[in-house]
Amino acid sequence: MELSSCADALAAAGTALHPGLRMAVAPAPSSIGACRVLFLCTGNSARSPIAEALLQQRVPAIEVASAGSHPKPLHPNTVRVLRGYGIDLTGRKPQHVDALANQPFDFVITLCDRIREICPEFPGGQQVHWSIPDPAASGGSDRDTYPEFEATAAELDTRIGYLLGMLAGPRQSQSLQEAK
């Protein structure tokens, strides 16, 4: 079952049980204050740069970075699929996770099981894990693997939509407490 279908089913179940259990609407990007988010995967050539670019496009006010444990050059399909979202990654260089060591992040999101196992500690960061398959893993031609890149970008875009609630959550709670 697709993530958005699960969310719809959960929302319907909550509403059916009691109107007070209706799921909240996702916050507007403008309601999300300054924070830092780091996406990690093994190669920093597909999943993490896609996630970084999609979140940065949705909420330009936050600082987003990505890195990998074994960086590889940006995959051509990463560039192609993001063009469909109106994002240009031409000239983007992958970076090693060590380049960001000891920097504080509000959220550190690991996108593959391998990086999760070796993920260093980041000060103050809440660690979240999304196990997303590597779209380039099949080893086929760029043409053959492009549909996997499209599916990966769509999955990440959906998950980022739900992440927005987490990014706004503590700030919204703090604002509500300050208003009392």
Q: Is 119 a catalytic residue?
A: yes
3-state secondary structure at position 125: coil
- State the catalytic residue, choosing from 32, 41, 109, 164: 41
- State the catalytic residue, choosing from 55, 97, 111, 119: 119
The amino acid occupying position 142 is D
Q: Is 41 a catalytic residue?
A: yes
- State the catalytic residue, choosing from 62, 112, 115, 168: 112
Query: Where do runs of H (alpha helix) occur along 95-135?
Result: 113-118
Q: Is 6 a catalytic residue?
A: no
**Residues known to be catalytic:** 41, 112, 119
